[in-house]
């Protein structure tokens, strides 16, 4: 663990840089963040969910009746006529259904394996909200909007991420169950009934899709703001954490003690596999 090693480094490095009074001493640390399996589940889900949403739209467009409003007033119609005029939406119901009922297996299996993996690997501990998450998520939200300065301390995921990434799994389960209820409303009639009947199951199934679209947009924006180090972690698995030390004014008796860890993310709790290599040589 890096923190445990620090005093030894101070001692050696301080000696090494005896003459370089004002050189900033940095240590790069590679911290494993996302296990390989989770990276695969994530990147497989991306095109698969894309095809599910696309084919779902082809199905929906065969009978596009949903709108949001109150009383006689319509706020949003899915979709406005202008949308059809621009995109020349063709009638491709059969094609949409075929792709939907092929890719549902990939969506289901990938999601199932992901959930099983997080359970058996213990990753769920970083993903599931805990008692603090509900309060902290609000602080993260205010922090992201630059309303407050400090965000609450966190592990691999912040409180808002924990809630969101768990919610998206619950939504996925909801999509599969409502989907099954729509697919086999007679043979699995009990399931259709659980979600309020055939029409309500379809509405929930559709609303969850809108949820995925919103999640996707926010997710991409957040990833852009979080920066390269965070994005790279979802591909390579590791994050690079820089440990900066204060410029050293060498007085053998006084070692710097107020180190601060400086990175986009704090060191994750599960840095058990981290390698620590000091530099410069």
Partner 1 sequence: MANFVTNLFRRNEKLTVDEFIVKKTITSFFFLLVFFAACIWAWKWVRRQPSQNGSRADVHAPLRTVLNTNEIIFSKIFSSNHLTKTYPASAAVKQVRPNGSIGMRNNLDTAAWKMYVIRANGDTLALDLDDIKKLPKTDVTFNFKCIEGWSQITHWAGVRFSDFMKFYGLNAEASMKYLGLTTPDKEYYVGIDMPSAMHPQTILCYELNGRPLPLREGYPLRLIIPVKYGIKHLKRIGTMYFANNRPPDYWAERGYDYYSGL
Residues of the shown chain interacting with partner 1 in the complex, contacts defined by CB under 8 A: 28-30, 43, 47, 59-60, 62-63, 65, 93-95, 97-99, 101-102, 105, 183-189, 193, 197-199, 202, 232, 235-238, 240, 277, 279, 281
Q: 110 or 133: whose CB is closer to partner 1?
A: 110
Q: How far is the CB of 93 from partner 1 (least distance, A)?
A: 6
Q: How far is the CB of 138 from partner 1 (least distance, A)?
A: 35
Exposure of 12 by Cβ count < 10 A (0-12 exposed, 13-18 middle, 19+ buried)?
Answer: exposed
236: its two tokens: 């390579």
**Residue 19 CA to chain centroid, in angstroms?**
46
Q: How far is the CB of 87 from partner 1 (least distance, A)?
A: 19
Distance in angstroms (rounded) separating the CA atoms of residues 17 and 7: 15
Q: How far is the CB of 234 from partner 1 (least distance, A)?
A: 9
Q: How far is the CB of 196 from partner 1 (least distance, A)?
A: 12
175: its two tokens: 């999509």
Nearest CA to 64 among 87, 84, 49?
84
Q: What is the DSSP string of 222-254?
A: HHHHH-HHHHHHHHHSEEEEEEE-PPP---TT-
Q: How far is the CB of 166 from partner 1 (least distance, A)?
A: 25
Q: 167 or 188: whose CB is closer to partner 1?
A: 188
Distance in angstroms (rounded) separating the CA atoms of residues 60 and 58: 6
Helices (H), 61-154: 81-87, 93-121, 124-127, 133-144
Q: What is the pairing mode between strands 275-276 and 26-32?
A: antiparallel
Helix orientation angle between 133-144 and 159-183, rounded to the nearest 10 degrees: 110
Q: 95 or 130: whose CB is closer to partner 1?
A: 95
Q: 21 or 46: whose CB is closer to partner 1?
A: 46
Q: 32 or 154: whose CB is closer to partner 1?
A: 32
Q: How far is the CB of 145 from partner 1 (least distance, A)?
A: 31
Q: How far is the CB of 83 from partner 1 (least distance, A)?
A: 18
Distance in angstroms (rounded) separating the CA atoms of residues 133 and 141: 12
Q: 62 or 86: whose CB is closer to partner 1?
A: 62
Which residues fall within 8 angstroms of residue 128, CB to CB, at 6 or more apart?
162, 166
Q: 4 or 277: whose CB is closer to partner 1?
A: 277
The residue with tokens 């993260």 is 140
């Amino acid at each position: 663990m890096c923190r445990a090693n620090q005093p030894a480094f101070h001692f050696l490095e301080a000696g090494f840089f005896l003459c370089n009074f004002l050189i900033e001493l940095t240590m790069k640390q590679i911290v494993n963040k996302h296990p390989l399996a989770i990276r695969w589940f994530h990147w497989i889900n991306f095109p698969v969910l894309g095809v599910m949403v696309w084919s779902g739209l082809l199905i929906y467009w065969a009978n596009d009746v949903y709108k949001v409003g109150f009383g006689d007033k319509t706020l949003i119609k899915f979709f406005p006529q202008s949308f059809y005029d621009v995109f020349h939406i063709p009638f491709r119901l059969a094609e949409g259904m075929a792709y939907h009922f092929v890719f549902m297996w990939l969506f289901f299996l990938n999601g199932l394996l992901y959930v099983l993996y997080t359970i058996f690997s213990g990753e769920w501990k970083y993903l599931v909200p805990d008692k603090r998450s509900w309060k902290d998520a609000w602080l993260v939200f205010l922090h992201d909007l630059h309303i407050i300065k400090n965000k609450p301390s966190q592990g691999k995921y912040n409180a808002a991420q924990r809630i969101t990434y768990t919610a998206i799994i619950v939504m996925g389960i909801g999509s599969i169950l409502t989907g099954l209820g729509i697919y086999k409303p007679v043979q699995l009639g009990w399931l259709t009934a659980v979600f309020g009947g055939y029409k309500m199951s379809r509405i929930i199934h559709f609303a969850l899709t809108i949820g995925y679209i919103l999640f996707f947009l926010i997710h991409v924006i957040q990833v852009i703001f979080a920066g390269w180090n965070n994005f790279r972690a979802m591909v390579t698995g590791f994050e690079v954490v820089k440990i900066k030390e204060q410029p050293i004014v060498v007085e053998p008796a006084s070692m710097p003690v107020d180190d601060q860890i400086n990175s986009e993310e704090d060191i994750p709790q599960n840095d058990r596999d981290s390698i620590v290599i000091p530099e410069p040589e």
